[in-house]
Chain A
Amino acid sequence: MSETTVVDIQLETSQQIARKTRRDFLRFLRKNPITLVGLLIVAAFVGAGIFGSYLAPYDPMGMDLLHRLEGPSSAHLLGTDELGRDILSRILYGAQISLGIGLLATLFSLTAGLVLGAVAGYFGGWWDTIIMRFIDVLLSFPGILLAILVIAVIGTGPNSVILAAGIQGVPTMSRVVRGEVLRLKEREFVESAQAIGLGHWVILGRYILYNSLPPVIVITTLNIGSAILTGAALSFLGMGVQPPEPEWGAMVSQGRDFIRTVPHVTTIPGLAIFIVVLGFNLLGDGLRDYLDPRTN
């Protein structure tokens, strides 16, 4: 036995892993065109949010009383509203508002959900009882009622909408994170980390939360869609972003008076909300299949 067997171990570099992941995802997108559609919608929406102010042909607040409530034409591709403002320009500017509300509200629910879910799941006992009862309390307000209560206390405006829509996403996120932590904390790699004496927070962050990323990413994507919906609904009710800001929900609300004669004033902003939320939902569902096949 003088021969030594040389085992050829190829360690992948992180670049190689990244390339492989990218290739995997592209292959997944080719097989799931619906997810690709979702991704393209989201990309277009983000593009509108970033570059909308450069792309818009008119000033979103610029009134033109000679051209009120006009249908689509070559001068105004999506027509004009009751004050003669260009609807396309308002939609493009509005993307920024909806995107901002959706992202910041989701950031809020993500942060709160990660902390609450992780503490409840990892430390258990009283922590778990208190946090989960708190989540029960949040869940005792049906539908948009909690968001309305938040608005009643802190007033209308974009920041209030972000908080109101953000709080609504906290229960789902906390529950998902808690479930993942409960599942992962019994695993061997966590026990080994505990055995070598790593601190609780290091174990939570590096080993547990890192491994629960797939469902968290899925819920985050879906939460952006529902935060946009909640924000638009609040603005529609007159409790969110106030006119004359080109917020899509507020635009639908303002166009209501003309629904019998010029429906496009309400139809177009509503369609914009629908398409964007659909995009996030399609992408979220696709990511669920890709990242977390277990749950399907």
Chain B
Amino acid sequence: MHRYVLRRILQMVPVLLIVSFIVFVSVRMIPGDPARMIAGLEASEEVVQNIRQQLGLDQPILTQYVRFLQGLLTGDLGTSLYFKTPVFTELATRLPNTLKLAFSGTLFAALIGVTGGILSAVYRGSILDNVAIIFSLAGVSMPSFWLALLFIQLFSVKLGWLPSSGSGTWQHLVLPALTLGMYGAGRIARLTRSSMLEVLSADYVRTARAKGLANYIVIYKHAFMSAIIPVVTVIGLEFGGFLGKAVIAETVFAWPGVARLIVEAVLQRDFPLIQGGVLWLAFGFTLINLVVDVLYGFLDPRIRYS
């Protein structure tokens, strides 16, 4: 087990290095001169050249990359061209919001998905099952920005229950989290359903039934407890994926998170901010996937890592 974890971490290092290199090179391929952007359009060539030297932009690209990696390790991601503040600070103030949103979204997705999947499996072939199947298919086919706007129309405009943008109270969190959660709910429901169906036809469940146990005990204690293991993994992976999928929810609901910051940075051509933001989310996503993989081994003793 320890060796497996260690190997996974070691495997992760080259992937993260390549990711950082790709992001680094991509950002440098964006048309436009950052030194000129900092200096302003009226600045003389001499001033621009000075800034270029300060930022190390006159160095060979590999030297720049090594410096960038050193900065990455010490938390120095450069200065945002737009905000004129350290990129690290900008990201650090917004990351808790994105995590909060991703976590609540996962909670919604898990609640809706697992409940729907269990009901679907237990009442297989019923109207309820078909409704759940249609819902889960609709969930993956819907453009999330459209769903978000429908939520605003219903809950903010018509009913006036929830605010349509901003942050601060728990009410602000509900609609973006629901939008995000719908992404995963369908997938989780489908997986829960098939996992439950598999377990419900297993011998030990039939034995439990034969013993005369009440139906709900069989379903909860015997079937659900083992059917849920693969589902937990997918829930974990959804959480990681939400870091990137939060882009739409954060943009529509003006939620001050990292994903929306990246969109703004792209539109503003704020190179250091794009670089830092994309790297943070990609690294976070990779780390969460690793943790989920390792946890899976603890949850399911049948899995032996080789």
**A→B interface (CB under 8 Å):** 133-134, 136-137, 140-145, 148-149, 151-153, 155, 225, 229, 232-233, 236-239, 249, 252-253, 256, 259-260, 263, 266-267, 270-271, 273-274, 277-278, 281-282, 285
Contact B145 A225 (CB under 8 A): no
Query: In the complex, A60→B245 CA distance in Å?
Result: 32
| Interface secondary structure of B, over-half rule | helix
Q: Name 14 A/B residue pairs within 8 A (Cβ), A-sorted.
A: A137-B15, A140-B285, A141-B278, A141-B285, A144-B247, A145-B259, A149-B278, A152-B274, A252-B143, A259-B153, A266-B149, A267-B149, A277-B142, A282-B137
Q: A140-B282, A141-B285 are in contact. List 13 more A-B contacts (CB 8 A).
A: A137-B19, A140-B15, A140-B286, A142-B240, A148-B247, A148-B262, A148-B266, A149-B274, A233-B143, A260-B157, A270-B145, A271-B146, A273-B146
Closest to A146 in B: B244
Q: Are A142 and B241 in contact (CB under 8 A)?
A: yes
For A38, the closest partner residue in chain B by CB is: B137
Residues of A within 8 A of B15 (CB): 133, 136-137, 140
Check A142–B22 contact: CB distance below 8 A. no
Number of A-B contacts (CB under 8 A): 135
Q: B229-265, CB under 8 A of A: which get 1 and which 0?
A: 0000000000011111111100100000001001100
In the assembled complex, which residues on chain B have CB atoms less than 8 Å from the CB atom of A266? 146, 149
Report whether B157 and A133 are in contact in the complex, using a CB–CB cutoff of 8 Å.
Answer: no
Indicate the size class of the contact surface on chain B.
35 or more
Closest to A134 in B: B18
Q: How far is the CA of A260 from the CA of B251 in the complex (A)?
A: 18
| Complex-state Cα separation, A236 to B144, whole angstroms | 11
Contact of A277 among B18, B143, B248 (CB under 8 A): B143
| B137 and A145 contact, CB distance less than 8 A | no
- Partner-binding segment picked from B23-31, B55-63, B67-75: B23-31
Contacts of A236 in B (CB 8 A): 143, 145, 248
Q: Which residues of B contact A263 (CB under 8 A)?
A: 149, 153, 157
Residues of A contacting B245 in the complex (Cβ-Cβ under 8 angstroms)? 142-144
Residue of B nearest to A277 (CB): B141
B26 touches A153 (CB 8 A): yes
In Å, the complex CA distance between A141 and B244 comes to 7
Residue of A whose beta carbon sits closest to that of B284: A142
Q: Nearest Cβ in chain A — how far from B158, in angstroms?
A: 10
Distance, CA A266 to CA B152, complexed state (A)? 12
Contact B251 A237 (CB under 8 A): yes
The docked-state distance in angstroms from the alpha carbon of A180 to that of B28 is 38
B162: min CB distance to chain A, Å: 14
Q: Tell which of B29, B142, B143 touches A153, judged by Cβ atoms closer than 8 Å.
A: B29
The answer to whether B10 has its CB under 8 Å from any CB of chain A is: no
User: What is the chain A residue whose CB lies nearest that of B28?
Assistant: A153
B200 to chain A, nearest CB (A): 17
Q: How far, in whole Å, are A134 and B21 apart by their CA atoms in the complex?
A: 13
Q: Judge whether A278 and B137 touch: CB under 8 Å.
A: yes
Q: Is B1 among interface residues, defined by CB-CB distance under 8 A?
A: no
**A259: which of B22, B152, B246 is its contact (CB, 8 Å)?**
B152
Q: Give complex CA distance A152, B30 in Å.
A: 7
Smallest CB-CB A-B distances: 5 pairs: A143-B244, A142-B244, A270-B146, A143-B245, A278-B141
Q: Would A274 and B146 count as touching, CB distance under 8 A? A: yes
User: Closest Cβ of chain B: how far from A255's Cβ, in Å?
Assistant: 9
CA distance A267 to B153 in the complex (A): 10
Asked whether any CB of chain A lies closer than 8 Å to the CB of B303, the reply is no
Q: Is B267 engaged at the interface, CB distance under 8 Å to the other chain?
A: yes
A232-B262 Cα distance, complex, nearest whole Å: 18
Most interface-central of B15, B149, B259 (chain A CB within 10 A): B149
User: Which residues on the B side are within 8 Å of A270 (C-beta)?
Assistant: 143, 145-146, 149-150
A249-B145 contact, Cβ under 8 Å, with A142-B243, A144-B244, A152-B266: yes
Measured between C-beta atoms, what is the minimum distance from B153 to chain A in Å?
A: 5
Would you call A233 and B140 a contact (CB within 8 A)? no
> Which residues of B lie under 8 Å from residue A281 when comparing CB positions?
137, 140-141
Contact A225 B141 (CB under 8 A): yes
| Distance to closest chain B CB from A126 (angstroms) | 14
Residue of A nearest to B157 (CB): A260
A237 CB to closest chain B CB (Å) equals 6
